[in-house]
Chain A
Amino acid sequence: KAGVTQTPRYLIKTRGQQVTLSCSPISGHRSVSWYQQTPGQGLQFLFEYFSETQRNKGNFPGRFSGRQFSNSRSEMNVSTLELGDSALYLCASTGTGTSYEQYFGPGTRLTVT
């Protein structure tokens, strides 16, 4: 099976702009979670989607949003970018049989200037 894929891998944006990141889970996986990784805060949970519905949400401002499509692919959007949004954004998918085990993609490195 192909692993979790994320596009783009690298992105440079300017403050105030918005950005959309994409994640394709492992085939058959219906849950997709998003994380932000920074040197200062470590790995922080953003949100989780299951069957096109947000099932869990972390403690991030409303500028961070996401959605999931019927094929389980997911996107996350960050509006009005701030310098502090510079981070590695990781997506992870989970299968229904082992719902506690997450498989991570390579991440999207977002730099806000």
Chain B
Amino acid sequence: AQSVTQLGSHVSVSEGALVLLRCNYSSSVPPYLFWYVQYPNQGLQLLLKYTSAATLVKGINGFEAEFKKSETSFHLTKPSAHMSDAAEYFCAVSSRSGGSYIPTFGRGTSLIVHP
């Protein structure tokens, strides 16, 4: 079984400040890990993914995440927040089951950016 825990349902930062969204996972097999972003009334957009290559993964819009196996974590960071980053962020873990990779999602973290 696999699971994802996102610490903090809401994170509030000032524009220009560091963004840190936390994600811890559990998986019985080597996982694939993802961060998705969701804007209001839209679907999920893939920000970045870890697929057992480099542990530091760079994504779109200046986001990056580091896979730490010893800590079972995959935290999302961005050096400087923009107002446009305000959205819901989901961490997901996926491992192969049969012919598919069905992700398990965390509950999401709402990022609030103050001017």
Question: A residues bordering B, Cβ < 8 Å?
Answer: 4, 6, 31, 33, 42-43, 45, 48, 50, 55-56, 90, 92, 94, 99-107, 109
Chain A residue with minimal CB distance to B96? A100
Residues of B in contact with A, size category: 20 to 34
Residues of B close to A43: CB separation below 8 A: 90, 105, 108
Chain A residue with minimal CB distance to B97? A56
Min CB distance A25 to B, Å, is 13
Q: Is the interface of A mostly helix, strand, loop or mixed?
A: strand
Separation of A102 and B103 alpha carbons in the complex (Å): 9
B43 an interface residue at 8 Å Cβ cutoff? yes
Question: B residues bordering A, Cβ < 8 Å?
Answer: 32, 34, 36, 41-46, 49, 51, 90, 94, 96-108
Min CB distance B33 to A, Å, is 10
- Of the candidates B44, B46, B49, B97, the one whose C-beta lies within 8 Å of that of A90 is B44
